[in-house]
Structure 1
Amino acid sequence: MDEFGPLSIRPYAGKGWFPQKKADRLPATYTRKHGVRHLFAALDLKTDKLYAHNKKTKRHQDFLGFLQVLRRRFHRSERLYIILDNFSPHHHKKVKAWAEKNHVKLVYTPTYASWLNRIECHFGPLRKFVLEGSNYSSHDELMKAIQEYIRWRNKNKRDAVILNEQNKIKVA
């Protein structure tokens, strides 16, 4: 499980065919008049399925809400292991108490080793297929595109294009 964002409504640069004389320019985006959103995403390693929800903030309440959604997706008798980075809302006492009560084990990656979390390599394809070369007019339109991508990705998870993009993960 990890967060992706902040996602803002702005034009994202991309590749394409442009006229030789005057290429379209990206408008300046110094302000975020629409605000930002954050994508909470999880990868089920058993089925190789992605799950995602968007939120306006990344506080412990938002994270806990996403954990509750994940818990409902799996049988209560199964112990659920969630691999996380060391972002402070993941360590909140309410999150830890809820996890213990609901048969959820929170497993933290070492500091500066977020690349150990398997979901990281899925953000590259999301960036390429949803954001690159786009200019969404609203957060609803952006989130609809992300959800459509996730549905498509879950159906085509063994597609060579997706696997190639996943292999391009950049380690900082």
Structure 2
Amino acid sequence: MAEHYRLPVSTETIRRVLREAGITWQATKTWKASRDPDFAAKMARILDLYDAPPADRRVICVDEFGPLNLQPRPGRGWFRKGQPTRRPPTPAPLGCGRCSAALDLASGQLFYRFRDRKRWREFLDFCRQLHRRFPTGRLYLVCDNYGAHQKAEVLTWRADHGIELVFTPSNASWLNWIECEFTALRYFTLDGSDYPSHAAQETAIARYIRWANRHATPKRRFAVNSKIRRPDYLPNVA
């Protein structure tokens, strides 16, 4: 019969062992991998536009930010110890807003428009707005595979106006550079908020975007030296 021994180990010893092994306390996260059969080709196309954008053309990342429903949102802030702000329970739905947004990589600036819905008509109208803002040269619009983006009316219009829609692989929204801007936008305008109206919420979002645009710089070096640049990054790509 095997003998059992009790080996007392201090907390400091455990700390040193874990540190030497490179083990840290981290949160578990979920990840929905892309099964797009053309994943590698689509990713390479987008990264090529990010790394070497055409000199006489513009690369713009487009997506919808939202849904912008009215509800108390959790967040962090500076408060006296033990006296954080308390939010009321989530109220009955009071409608839901949407925000179409675009990130111009050449300037690093964001452009936006608030809408009640996000159908193909709203997307096409936003594309027209971008075309009016950048009337010369070809536009490359990086966007996801949402059905409204691939509507026949949208595809016909963009073909007639020198615009190319560059679609991210399915379940790979992280390849759209604007998602990084959405993270900051959500942190500074939505986290810890409890807006009384959609107008107040939209005012806060618009104010942040104006501030960000005043401090914007051209977007370069997307995920440099990151493992996500490997074509085999997602092992279960079909």
What TM-score do the two structures reach when normalised by structure 1? 0.85
Q: Deviations over 1:82-129 (max 9, x none)?
A: 001000000000000110111111110111111111101101100111
Q: Deviations over 1:11-61 (max 9, x none)?
A: 2212131563x65432222521x2001111100011111011111111000
2:134 aligned with 1:68, yes or no? Answer: no
Q: Which residue of 2 aligns with 1:122?
A: 181
Cα distance in 2 for residues equivalent to 1:39 and 1:125? 15
Q: Which residue of 2 aligns with 1:113?
A: 172
Which one has the largest radius of gyration?
2
Cα distance in 2 for residues equivalent to 1:36 and 1:133? 18
**DSSP 3-state at the match of 1:25:** coil
**DSSP 3-state at the match of 1:100:** helix
Letter in 2 for 1:102: H
Cα distance in 2 for residues equivalent to 1:108 and 1:24? 42
2:190 aligned with 1:131, yes or no? Answer: yes
Deviates more, 1:78-87 or 1:127-136: 127-136
**DSSP 3-state at the match of 2:117:** coil
Q: Which residue of 1 aligns with 2:56?
A: none
Q: Which residue of 2 aligns with 1:163?
A: none
Q: Which residue of 1 aligns with 2:65?
A: 4
Please point out which of 73, 86, 89 is paired with 1:25.
86
Letter in 2 for 1:13: P
Letter in 1 for 2:90: T
Q: Is the 8 A contact 2:124 2:154 kept in 1?
A: yes
What does residue range 84-99 of structure 1 map to in structure 2 within 5 Å?
Answer: 84-99=143-158
Q: Is the 8 A contact 2:168 2:175 kept in 1?
A: yes
Give ranges in structure 1 of 5+ residues lacking alignment: 159-170
Cα distance in 2 for residues equivalent to 1:23 and 1:47? 39
**DSSP 3-state at the match of 2:181:** helix
Letter in 2 for 1:82: L
Identity %: 42
2:112 aligned with 1:44, yes or no? Answer: no
Are residues 109 and 130 of structure 1, via their aligned partners in 2, closer, same or farther at CA, if it must alter by over 3 Å? same
Letter in 2 for 1:3: E
Cα distance in 2 for residues equivalent to 1:39 and 1:18? 35
Letter in 2 for 1:131: L
**DSSP 3-state at the match of 2:90:** coil
Please point out which of 103, 106, 115 is paired with 2:162.
103
Letter in 2 for 1:129: F
Q: Is the 8 A contact 2:87 2:194 kept in 1?
A: no
Q: Which residue of 2 aligns with 1:164?
A: none
Q: How far did residue 9 of structure 1 move?
A: 1.3
Letter in 2 for 1:156: H
Letter in 2 for 1:59: R
Deviates more, 1:119-128 or 1:10-19: 10-19
Give ranges in structure 2 of 5+ residues lacking alignment: 1-61, 218-227, 229-238
| Root-mean-square deviation (Å) | 1.7
